[in-house]
Every structure is written in C-alpha cells, then in structure tokens.
C-alpha cells in the first residue's frame, strides 16, 4: 500500500516536471526573428508612407482630385502601419515576458483576435489603394502605388500574419 502511494507520488511528481518543462517550450512560439521580420515590414510601410507624403507635398495646389487621391493612399498606409505596429509590439512583448502564463495569454490574444482581424484589415487597406488606382486609370503614380501596396501588404505582411497565426495556433490544447 505504501509502495503504491509512493509510486503515485513519484508518478505525479514526474508528470508535474514534464508539464513544467513543456509549458515554456510551448509558449516560445514567437522569437526575435518574428519580431524582426515584423519590424522590417513596418519600416517598409513607413518608407512607402514617406514617399507618398513627399509626392503629396509636391502636387500643385490646384490639383484637388490628385491631392485627395494621394492623401487617401497615405491614410490607408498609415492605418496599415499602425495595425502592424500593434502586432509587432505584442509579438515583441511575448518574446521578452518572463512568465510563461503571461506569454500564453498574449499569444492566445494574438491568435484569437488580433491576427485574423489584422489580416482582414491589411487586405482592406491594400484593396482600398488598388481601388483608388482603378478609379484613376490614367494616373501611373497611383498604379505604381497599388502595385507596391500589393507587394508590401499582400505578398509580405499578410503572409507573415498567416505564419504567425499558424504558429500561435499550435498553442491550442
């Protein structure tokens, strides 16, 4: 009887150790590389914003329609930049937070709410920029902006969010 109780206690202790060892490993889903990649995309969006802003300031004052179009592109880029910056900040915090339970909380929040909504949001911003270019087919600058937004948001940012979604989804019990 005592051997049985001791064996159970040893077994429970072993399971507790295994669980404790696997919890931090499971929580380390995102690393500095993910945060770095998000930062790089964010910097590229900021550079794009700056280019549009520069072009906007170079437009003649009597070109109201062009000014409105460029400002629309700029505002959509700013919104995408802010959203991606939020994802970056949470990813960075999740890398450096000490508590595994806090890290899991952050990653579950990212997986359940932030990443899917951010992907949709970035898609909307990309589509809005493309729509502006389609509304002004003779404007090559807007066509270039649409192509650049498609590469930056559609080919870089959104696939990165998809990857982070898959990685944070691995946390599900």
Residue 5 has a pLDDT of 60
Instruction: Give the integer Cα–Cα distance in Å for 148 and 11.
Output: 58
CA-only gyration radius of the chain, Å: 23
Residues of the chain below pLDDT 70: 1-28, 171-173
How far, CA to CA in Å, does 100 sit from each of 64, 106, 138, 171? 53, 10, 54, 12
Q: What is the pTM of this model?
A: 0.81
Per-residue model confidence as pLDDT tens digits over 129-166: 999 999 999 999 999 999 999 999 999 999 999 999 99
């Amino acid at each position: 009887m005592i051997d049985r109780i001791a064996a159970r206690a040893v077994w429970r202790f072993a399971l507790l150790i295994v669980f404790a060892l696997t919890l931090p490993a499971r929580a380390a889903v995102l690393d500095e590389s993910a945060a770095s990649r998000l930062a790089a995309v964010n910097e590229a969006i900021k550079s794009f914003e700056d280019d549009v802003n520069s072009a906007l300031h170079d437009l003649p004052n009597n070109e109201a329609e062009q000014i409105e179009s460029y400002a629309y592109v700029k505002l959509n880029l700013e919104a995408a930049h802010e959203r991606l910056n939020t994802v970056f900040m949470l990813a960075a915090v999740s890398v450096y937070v000490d508590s595994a339970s806090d890290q899991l909380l952050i990653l579950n929040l990212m997986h359940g709410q932030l990443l899917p909504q951010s992907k949709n949001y970035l898609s909307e911003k990309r589509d809005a920029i493309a729509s502006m270019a389609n509304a002004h087919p003779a404007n090559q600058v807007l066509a270039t902006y649409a192509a650049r937004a498609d590469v930056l948001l559609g080919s870089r940012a959104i696939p990165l969010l998809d990857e982070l979604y898959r990685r944070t989804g691995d946390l599900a019990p």
